[in-house]
Amino acid sequence: MFKKTVPALLLFVLGFSAAQAQNHKLSPKWEELTAPDFVQAIHQSQGVCVLPFGIIEKHGPHLPLGTDLLDVRYAVMNAVEQEYAVVFPEYYFGQIFEAQQQPGTVAYSLSTQLTLLQETVKEMARNGCKKVVIVNGHGGNNSLLPLFAQAQLATPRDYVVYVFGLPNDHVPGRPAMKSDPKNDMHAGETETANMLIARPDLVQMDKADSQSGADQHRQNLPDNVYTGIWWYAKFPNHYSGVGSAATKELGEFDQKAWASQIADALQAIKADGDSLRIQNEYFEKISHPLDTKQ
């Protein structure tokens, strides 16, 4: 009896294993992939890899230090469920000099920020990520990342860096805010609402009003005059807005909209056959500028 059932058992096991392999779903997370799976993931993503870019800084008295990192990764992970791409591990080595007076802030030198980001992107490209998409989750990187992207034209390379900025909040159907949108810049209603969806276990709403997120107006300069101390002059508590006004309804809407915007960008980037071609054309021409038609 046993001998007769072994072939049937083997067929069952082999059939189950084949079905398992066929239904094997690749993780989008770089760190969770095996080496063989990573090769498949790069092919499946068409060489598109995402670097969610957060920071470690105070977020008012009620949100975790890693809010920007947690939020942007949450949005990206939802986006790659819609449009598959490989997602690089936690990255928080950005610009945050304006919050060094607050406990827990991790601020790297500018040279380290740029060098580490360049080395990271280079290593991603070496591993097949020929389209590197940096998704920004931190307002303090708004100047850093376009500068970094522009610096990619300094020397020839076989990959393209794309920067996806902060999400567009002007989406039809968005729930009305309870606080002043003009002052809702950091740990306020919007950011708190997003965290109520991404990591509600880390939000301490009872502390949201224990500090002021109001603009202190401690500088009197024209709008077109910039100083690095502008943020601290306005918001010494490193808190801008009213976190206690946040609702899950707003957070759910914004997170879905953010993920959808990222997914749309990934789809467009996969279809982009122009940027690398034009970039290569540019690199070829910079070696002999006198031949450029005038």
CA distance 62 to 212: 12
Q: Which residues contact 240 (CB under 8 A, 6 or more apart)?
A: 183, 184, 185, 186, 187, 188, 213, 215, 234
Closest to 98 in 3D by CA, of 239, 238, 243? 238
Amino acid 24: pLDDT: 75
Amino acid 3: pLDDT: 44
Q: Give the three-state DSSP class for 47.
A: coil
Amino acid 28: pLDDT: 98
Q: Domain 28-271 adopts which CATH fold?
A: Rossmann fold (3.40.50)
* Region label for 60, one of left (φ > 0), alpha (ψ between -120 and 50) or beta (otherwise): left
Report the chain (294 residues): mean pLDDT per 10 consecutive residues: 44 44 80 98 98 98 98 98 98 98 98 98 98 98 97 97 96 97 97 98 98 97 96 98 98 98 98 98 95 94
Tell me the one-letter amino acid at 38.
F
Amino acid 23: pLDDT: 56
CA distance 62 to 205: 6
Q: Give the three-state DSSP class for 228.
A: coil
Q: Where are the domains of the chain?
A: 28-271
pLDDT digits (tens, 9 = 90+) for 145-159: 999 999 999 999 999
Closest to 190 in 3D by CA, of 139, 133, 140, 265? 139
Pairing of strands 131-136, 48-53: parallel
Q: Which residues contact 124 (CB under 8 A, 6 or more apart)?
A: 49, 51, 88, 132, 159
* Tokens representing residue 152 in the block: 């990619």
Instruction: Please state the pTM of the whole predicted model.
Output: 0.91
* Tokens representing residue 100 in the block: 């060094």
H helix runs in the chain, sequence order:
2-22, 35-44, 67-82, 110-126, 144-151, 189-198, 230-234, 248-271, 275-285
